[in-house]
Amino acid sequence: MWQAKNAILIGVTLALTSVLVTTACKVGPNYEKPQVLQADLWTPPVEGPITTAEPNLLEWWKRFDDPVLDQLIVQAQESNATIEKSLANVRISLGALGISESQFWPTIGTMFQYQRIKTNQSQLASQGVVIEPYNLWLGGVAMTSWEIDVWGRVARMVEGAKATLESTVEDLRGVLISIRSQVGTTYMNVRTLQMQLSILRQSVKNYQTTLNLAKDKFKAGTNTLLEVNQAQTDLDILTASIPSTESSLDAAIFSLAYLCGTTSGPMKLLLGQPAPLPQMNDEIGIGIPAELLRRRPDVRSSERLVAAAVANIGAQEALNLPIFSLTGNFYLAANEFSGLGQQGSPAYSFGPSISWLVFQGGYVNSLIAQSKGQAQAALAGYRDTVLDAMRDVETAIVVLSNAKKSEMLYITAEKSAQQTYDLANLQYMAGRTSLDTLIQVQNDLLNAQTKLADSQGLVAQNTVSLYRALGGGWEDGAINQTAQRSAGMKDPS
């Protein structure tokens, strides 16, 4: 009978508890996404290869139509250490969310114990009590103090933990975009340096031809040893510049290997023989400016941090209010193991409690003030991130547009310099121009070719930078792939 009565009592208590939880209010401010007025009025420049067409940002690197670049991007996504760190941060935030959510539920533990007990008889002799040794078998379950979230303190904590998790996911997106961009720009730099090295080596051949002509003319008595020495000096100076360019190329390959989580040996095998610099001649659409900002992971992450900070205000304000809790336990105790099932062995305790910080020396109010300051700092950080994103996009558009203009001018200059060199070379062989003129024309050709290579490399690299600024590669597919990779990561323990 007692079991039925107490079961009813416990049921009524739990029902009242559930009413308290479901009707709980959340103290503190409710989050509203901040509005940045500049973002609504912002119109980035549209010039050069930039249009207002709908952007095509997914897997932008495939628009270069370069299989090696495609493979490098995949390898970086699979092996880059920075991505692994971001994955670990997501796992940390996911664990923090689970810890916060667990506070919605009671903590219940179980225990079983055996003791052989003998009381000191001399302590009880004055009372005429004689205690013989006896056994104690004990087992049951206990619920530690369970806070009923009447004021929404736990709910605010969960709200903040969710926002923090979402921020770390956006950070992971940002890292993916950044690593892809770094791989792309470094790869373009490698191909540019290979092109410059090829230009230098071809120029060495041209300078050697000029030196040979000068020597032949000297033997024929049509010029002086001074001209031969001058041609030799120019050849030596040019040849001496090659090791520096080779060092720059090796350094770029080392950087690319680092980004892809490997070493220079496998990277050189993957790169293969020197190849032309990949070019993308398509126009790049940026779409609606406001949507552009919403795509950027840094803006999204910063906004989520504001949400987390605002939720924390409510969690701290709830500490100024009474805390409603439930505790309870149920156990069986007997002197013999077989007696645990007898009617007299059960025991329990169950009941609510209320606690209130009546005086705490301003501790909670200081926590509230601190959390409000953190929210203001997060809001300022969000606004700064939006402005920085706008500046980043505008800069990338202008730099790419100007690089395209320079490339077109250098193409014309290189063609003119090549024609001038061919003509000067013929005239020198015919004795109709001086060696000084030929060497000057050679230098002009080398300068034009080098500038053109630099310009084409900058166009390719700035194209990649623009895609990064636009949030290129923002998609869930890569996040899902990296999540699968995270699941397969080894536990360091």
User: What mean pLDDT, rounded, does the chain reach?
Assistant: 84
- Helices then strands, counting H and E runs in the chain, come out as 14, 6
Find out whether 305 and 163 touch, Cβ atoms under 8 Å. Answer: yes
CA separation (Å) from 373 to 36, 369, 379?
Answer: 20, 6, 10
Percent of the chain with pLDDT over 70: 84
What would the pLDDT profile of 331-342 be if each residue is shown by its tens digit?
Answer: 777 777 766 667
pLDDT band at residue 108 under the 50/70/90 scheme: confident
Q: At what angle do helices 242-259 and 264-271 cross, to 10 degrees?
A: 100
pLDDT band at residue 373 under the 50/70/90 scheme: very high
pLDDT higher at 142 or 85: 85
Whether the model pTM is above 0.85: no
* Residue 295 clears pLDDT 90, i.e. is over it: no
Q: Rounded to an integer, what distance in angstroms lies between the CA atom of residue 57 and that of residue 54?
A: 9
Sign, CA torsion 389/391/394/396:
negative
pLDDT band at residue 11 under the 50/70/90 scheme: very low
* Residue 486 clears pLDDT 50, i.e. is over it: no
pLDDT higher at 407 or 479: 407
Find out whether 151 and 236 touch, Cβ atoms under 8 Å. Answer: no
Supply angle C-alpha 359, 365, 368, rounded to 5. Answer: 145
* Residue 441 clears pLDDT 50, i.e. is over it: yes
> Of 98, 97, 159, which Cα lies nearest the Cα of 306?
159
Residue 4: the pLDDT is 43
Residue 99: the pLDDT is 87
DSSP state of 112: E
pLDDT band at residue 35 under the 50/70/90 scheme: confident
Domain 31-104+149-321+363-487 superfamily per CATH: Outer membrane efflux proteins (OEP) (1.20.1600.10)
Place of tokens 């909670």: 364
* Residue 235 clears pLDDT 60, i.e. is over it: yes
What would the pLDDT profile of 442-467 be if each residue is shown by its tens digit?
Answer: 999 999 999 999 999 999 999 999 99
Q: Rounded to an integer, what distance in angstroms lies between the CA atom of residue 198 and that of residue 450?
A: 10
What would the pLDDT profile of 134-179 be if each residue is shown by its tens digit?
Answer: 677 777 777 777 888 888 888 999 999 999 999 999 999 999 999 9
Residue 239: the pLDDT is 94
What would the pLDDT profile of 191-220 be if each residue is shown by its tens digit?
Answer: 999 999 999 999 999 999 989 988 988 898
Find out whether 297 and 171 touch, Cβ atoms under 8 Å. Answer: yes
pLDDT band at residue 126 under the 50/70/90 scheme: low
Residue 23: the pLDDT is 45
Q: Kind of pairing, strands 108-117 and 134-148?
A: antiparallel
Sign, CA torsion 367/371/376/380:
positive
Residue 192: the pLDDT is 96
Q: Which residues contact 26 (CB under 8 A, 6 or more apart)?
A: 151, 152, 155, 156, 314
Residue 423: the pLDDT is 94
pLDDT higher at 137 or 381: 381
Question: How many Cβ atoms from other residues are within 10 Å of residue 274's Cβ?
Answer: 13
Sign, CA torsion 493/178/389/296:
negative
Average pLDDT of 41-61?
81
Q: Which of 219-223, 345-349, 399-403 has the highest mean pLDDT?
A: 399-403
